[in-house]
Structure 1
Amino acid sequence: MRTKHLLSAIAIAALTVGCSQADSKPVAANDVKGSSVSYVAGDVILGNADAKVQIVEYASTACGHCRTFHKTILPNIKKDFIENGSVSLIYRDLPTPPAQLAAAGAALARCAGKDEYYKVLDDVFTSQGEIFDAARSAGGALPAYNEIGARHGMSEETVKACVTSTEVLNEISRTSDLAQAAGVTSTPTLFIDGVKVEAKDMSNEGIAALLNDALGIETTSESAPAEPEEAAEAAH
């Protein structure tokens, strides 16, 4: 069965936003048993749940810019801010075209459970090129998701049940609702303590500066070089 047929329900559900009363407050994550598969419902927090500063990220596993963020910027946020307990992050799904692939990646992370959630997300972003290549082939993208699932202890039957689960789709729709309510129009979009990060600040340096400011940490710039006359006087 080709992926476009297998995941058609996901694409429709993921694109139907604004149907519920969206609440941007975090919803505690719980591993639950659905009718066909176990999955994590709610917001999964990366880092210290009681961190002083919280980042909320709206992103899509099919978005190239999101992949860049997750592979080149997020590792530095983890190292400098999340691992020391001062900052936490919540990832929320906002599927973008091709929505069936984006939703499938999001679903796979949820079916992996809380402990594997961010590991699977990282794997999906890392494998984005392979997923797209598989989607263009006769066999479709499902085998690529099976490979990712296998690396995290998920059987092919579990992966198939996951990407077609109505309950998992509802979680993806929930976060899509939140994105719409927050006025998100592109991915990735970050909020630091509820304040949207502007495009000009979406860099390692820009985000670090915003996080330091939110934490009340003053950063010192390097001293300006001495003027020629001052340098000459200092030499005597």
Structure 2
Amino acid sequence: MNRNILIIALVAILGGGAAFFAMSGGGAKQVEVAPQAQAEAETETVAETSDAAVSEITEMTLGNPDAPVKVVEYASFTCSHCGAFHREGFKELKANYIDTGKVHFTYREVYFDRAALWASMVARCGGEEKFFGITDLIYKGQRDWMGGGDPVQMADGLRKIARVAGLSSDTIDACLEDQDKAQSLISWYQANVEADGIDSTPSFIIGQDRVAGNNYAKLREVIDAQLGN
């Protein structure tokens, strides 16, 4: 899909516009985009601001920046396979490689649906200090806050998680209502997935290698090879 149309569509979703996504099995497919007239009216403005917006987004990382192996994970907060990895394999990755200084880890969000964008905005609401803690809570409670896919239930579930993480209701609402931040995140997401050719989650970029899926054993094999083990 055209980058600018995607931005318009997802921002329209946050504002209750005509665009929407159908969620299924932790993934999603687009079934309708914003009306063409609206898209044409807004495309020029979006194009002018998208590059600047991308540079404003903070990369969320863990570990030693000088570690010999760089791992970038692309994941969606609504992806069940991503949830499984973060509840299981990620703990081993962190203990065995990130905390030991062997891997510098970067987490990049993917927005295949509106709830994934909302969850990202909530996770980033507490800044870098709280990001991975809130991410952990979102994945641990994934089945509960996603429920049956009702937007109100999902938003309320994410607000509850953020409150557990110590954020105030006013802070949470301000984060979720920040349309400029939403647009910036979508621009950033689209630039990343286009650059790295990401079409599924979770996907990992390990140096020059790519690993798709939540198979920790395969991830470990590629990392060990790059470490010379």
TM-score range for the pair, normalised by the shorter chain length:
0.7 to 0.9
**Structure 1 residue 100 corresponds to structure 2 residue 118:** no
Residues 146, 155 of structure 1: 8 Å contact kept = no
Query: Within 2, Cα distance between the matches of 1:168 and 1:50?
Result: 30
- CA–CA separation in structure 1 for the residues paired with 2:166 and 2:89: 28
Is the 1:59–1:189 Cα contact (8 Å) retained in structure 2?
yes
Q: Which residue of 2 aligns with 1:211?
A: 223
**Is the CA contact 1:93–1:176 (under 8 Å) kept in the aligned structure 2?**
no
Q: Distance in 1 between matches of 2:123 and 2:140?
A: 13
Q: TM-score, normalised by structure 1?
A: 0.71
Q: Does the 8 Å CA contact 2:69/2:102 hold for their aligned counterparts?
A: yes
Question: Structure 1: any 5+ residue segments left out of the alignment?
Answer: 31-40, 218-236
Larger radius of gyration: 1
Matched residue type, 1:146:
R
Deviations 1:6-39 (A, max 9, x none): 5647x88xx89x96569x9xx7xx8xxxxxxxxx
Shift of the alpha carbon at 1:104?
0.8
When residues 79 and 95 of structure 1 are mapped into structure 2, their CA distance, relative to the original with a 3 A threshold, is: same
Matches for 1:44-193 after TM superposition, within 5 Å = 44-96=60-112, 99-133=113-147, 135-136=149-150, 139-169=152-182, 170-193=184-207
Q: Secondary structure at the match of 1:144?
A: helix
Give the C-alpha shift of residue 159 in structure 1: 1.3
CA distance in 1: counterparts of 2:217 and 2:118, whole angstroms: 32
CA distance in structure 2 between the aligned counterparts of 1:116 and 1:125, rounded to whole angstroms:
14
Cα offset for 1:176? 2.9
Label 1:153 to 1:52 Cα distance change in 2 as closer, same or farther (>3 A).
same
TM-score (norm 2): 0.73
**1:66-118 deviation digits (Å, cap 9, x = unpaired):** 1011112111111110110110111111112xx12111111111111111111
Work out the CA distance in 2 between the residues paired with 1:145 and 1:57: 22
3-state DSSP class of the match of 2:129? coil
Structure 1 63/42 Cα, relative in aligned 2: closer, same or farther at 3 Å?
same
Checking the alignment, whether the CA contact within 8 Å between 1:47 and 1:82 is kept in structure 2 is: yes
Compare the two structures and name the one with the higher helix fraction. 2
Q: What's the CA shift for 1:135?
A: 4.5
Structure 2: how far apart are the matches of 1:181 and 1:8? 30
Q: Which residue of 1 aligns with 2:59?
A: 43
Q: Identify if the C-alpha distance between structure 1 residues 124 and 173 changes in structure 2 by more than 3 Å, giving closer, same or farther.
A: farther
Amino acid at match of 2:64: N
Aligned residues: 190
Aligned pair in 2 of structure 1 residues 5, 198: CA closer, same or farther (>3 Å)? Answer: closer
- Gaps of at least 5 residues in structure 2 are 1-11, 21-29, 34-45
Q: Deviations along 1:126-179, whole A, 9 cap, x unmatched?
A: 111111127538x53222112111112211222122122123211243023211
Structure 2 contact 63–101 (Cα < 8 Å) conserved: yes
SS in structure 1 of the partner of residue 88 of structure 2: helix
Give the aligned residue type for 1:216. G
Q: After the TM superposition, which parts of structure 1 deviate over 6 Å for at least 4 consecutive aligned residues?
A: none
Relative to structure 1, the CA distance from residue 167 to residue 182 in structure 2 (aligned partners, 3 Å threshold; closer, same or farther) is: same
